C-alpha cells in the first residue's frame, strides 16, 4: 500500500490529484445548482413582469446577505461570499430584465465603484457628467436606477444632491457605504519623474500631508473627477493622478503609492435612487425633508414625536430653501420604515407643524462587511 504523506499535525492527507478531483466535483455541483437557480430566477422575472414589480428588490438583497451571515460557519470569508453572491444576483437580475444604472461619471470614479459594489458587473452602466443628469435619467426612465454621492466622513454632505430632492419625484431605494482609498497613479514607474499631480479638489485635500512629505515640489491641479485626472495622467509620464485602483486598470497606469489618504477613516455614503419605495427589510432607514412654520419652538415640535416614539434620528441637515430669505429646508434620516406604525404616526403628527413635508424614501440600511 502506498504510504500516505502526513502534515505537521500528523493527519493523513490525500494526493494532490485526488483533492483536485474532489474540488472539481464540487464545482460541477455548484454550476448545476446555479443553472437551476437561473431557471427559478426566470420564473420570478415572469411573475414580476406580470405584476409590474421592480426587478431590483433591496429588501430581498438584504435578506440574502443575512442568510450568508447566518449560515457561513467555515473557512470561507463572509466578505468573499457576499462578493460572490453579489455577482450571482447581478447576473440573475440581468436574466430577469437587463437594467440600466446611471451614475455620476466618468468610468472609474468612486461613484462607479459604489454602483458596482451594489449591482455587480452584469448590468449596463451609463456614466453622466452631473448629479442632475443622473436624477433626470431616472425620472425620465432612461435608467432604472441612479447612483449619486450624498456625504463623506471628512468633507461632509454633498449639498447639490440634497438640493436635487426638492423638486425631483425620485425616491431613495438603497444606500451604499464604501471606504475611499486614494492611490497615486502614473505612466511613470518612479516618483522621481513626477512634476505635477491632478485630481478632484477633495482628493487633493485628503492627501495633502502625504504629498507634502513625498512630493513637496510638484504642482497641483484640480479636475472635475478623479477619473478625469487619470485620463490626463495617461498621456504624460511626468503627471500623476490621485484616483482609485480601478482607474489604474482602465487607463493602464502604474500604482506608485497605495492608500495615500491622510486619514484612514475616509468613508463615503452613496444613494441609489429609483421610482418606487422598496418593501421593509427589517433593518431600514427613512429619509424625509421639511420646512417649518416661523414660530417659537417649531423645530422642537417636529423632533419631539420621534423622541416620544423612541425613534432614533441618525442625521439632520439644513439648507437654504432658495425660495424665501432666511428660510431653511431640513433633511432628516431616522431608523425604521414608513410601513412601521410608529414612524408612520410620527410623520403624520409632524405634518401640521410643517409648511412642506416630503418623504424621500424608506430603504435597507447599508450592509457593510
- Is-catalytic flag, 270? yes
The string over 106-116, giving b where at least 16 C-beta atoms fall within 10 Å of a residue's C-beta and e elsewhere, is bbbbbbbbbbb
* Gyration radius (Cα) of the chain, Å: 25
Considering 110, 119, 145, 270, which one is annotated as catalytic?
270
The Cα–Cα gap between 51 and 317 comes to: 38
Considering 268, 286, 291, 354, which one is annotated as catalytic?
268
Taking alpha carbons only, the member of 333, 286, 336, 329 closest to residue 313 is 333
The string over 204-236, giving b where at least 16 C-beta atoms fall within 10 Å of a residue's C-beta and e elsewhere, is bebbeebbeeebeebeeeebebbbbbbbbbbee
Q: Yes or no: say if 173 and 145 are a contact pair by the CB < 8 Å rule.
A: yes
- Is-catalytic flag, 268? yes
Strand partners, 203: none
Cell numbers for 283: 433593518
**CA 202 remoteness from chain centre:** 18
- Element (H or E) spanning 360, and its range? strand 354-364
The Cα–Cα gap between 289 and 278 comes to: 19
Output the DSSP codes for 247-309. HHHHTT-EEEES---S-S--EEEEEEEESSPPPP-SSEEEEEEEEE-SSTTHHHHHHHHHHHT
- For 233, residues 6+ apart whose C-beta sits below 8 A from its C-beta are 185, 186, 187, 198, 239, 240, 241, 251, 253
What residue has cell string 416614539? 309
The catalytic residue positions are: 268, 270
Amino acid at each position: 500500500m502506498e504510504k500516505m504523506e502526513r502534515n505537521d499535525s500528523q493527519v493523513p492527507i490525500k494526493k494532490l490529484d485526488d483533492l483536485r478531483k474532489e474540488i472539481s466535483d464540487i464545482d460541477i455541483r455548484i454550476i448545476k445548482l446555479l443553472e437551476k437557480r437561473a431557471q427559478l430566477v426566470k420564473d420570478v422575472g415572469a411573475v414580476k413582469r406580470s405584476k409590474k414589480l421592480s426587478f431590483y428588490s433591496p429588501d430581498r438583497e438584504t435578506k440574502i446577505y443575512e442568510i450568508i451571515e447566518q449560515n457561513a460557519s467555515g473557512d470561507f470569508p463572509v466578505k468573499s461570499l457576499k462578493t460572490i453572491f453579489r455577482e450571482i444576483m447581478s447576473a440573475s437580475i440581468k436574466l430577469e430584465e437587463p437594467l440600466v444604472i446611471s451614475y455620476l461619471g466618468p468610468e472609474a470614479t468612486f461613484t462607479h465603484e459604489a454602483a458596482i459594489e451594489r449591482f455587480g458587473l452584469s448590468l449596463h452602466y451609463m456614466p453622466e457628467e452631473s448629479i442632475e443628469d443622473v436624477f433626470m435619467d431616472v425620472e425620465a426612465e432612461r435608467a432604472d436606477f441612479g447612483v449619486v454621492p450624498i456625504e463623506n466622513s471628512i468633507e461632509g454632505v454633498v449639498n447639490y444632491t440634497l438640493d436635487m430632492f426638492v423638486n425631483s419625484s425620485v425616491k431613495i431605494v438603497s444606500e451604499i457605504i464604501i471606504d475611499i482609498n486614494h492611490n497615486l497613479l502614473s505612466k511613470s514607474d518612479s516618483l522621481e519623474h513626477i512634476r505635477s499631480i491632478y485630481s478632484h479638489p477633495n482628493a487633493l485635500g485628503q492627501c495633502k500631508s502625504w504629498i507634502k512629505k513625498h512630493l513637496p515640489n510638484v504642482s497641483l491641479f484640480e479636475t472635475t473627477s478623479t477619473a478625469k485626472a487619470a485620463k490626463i495622467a495617461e498621456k504624460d509620464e511626468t503627471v500623476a493622478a490621485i484616483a482609485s485602483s480601478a482607474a489604474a486598470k482602465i487607463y493602464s497606469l502604474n500604482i506608485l503609492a497605495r492608500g495615500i489618504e491622510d486619514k484612514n477613516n475616509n468613508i463615503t455614503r452613496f444613494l441609489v435612487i429609483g421610482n418606487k419605495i422598496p418593501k421593509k427589510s427589517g433593518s431600514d432607514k427613512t429619509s424625509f425633508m421639511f420646512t417649518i412654520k416661523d414660530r417659537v419652538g417649531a423645530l422642537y415640535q417636529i423632533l419631539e414625536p420621534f423622541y416620544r416614539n423612541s425613534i432614533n434620528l441618525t442625521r439632520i441637515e439644513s439648507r437654504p430653501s432658495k425660495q424665501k430669505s432666511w428660510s431653511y429646508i431640513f433633511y432628516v434620516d431616522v431608523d425604521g420604515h414608513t410601513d412601521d406604525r410608529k414612524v408612520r404616526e410620527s410623520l403624520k403628527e409632524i405634518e401640521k407643524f410643517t409648511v412642506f413635508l416630503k418623504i424621500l424614501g424608506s430603504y435597507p440600511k447599508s450592509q457593510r462587511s
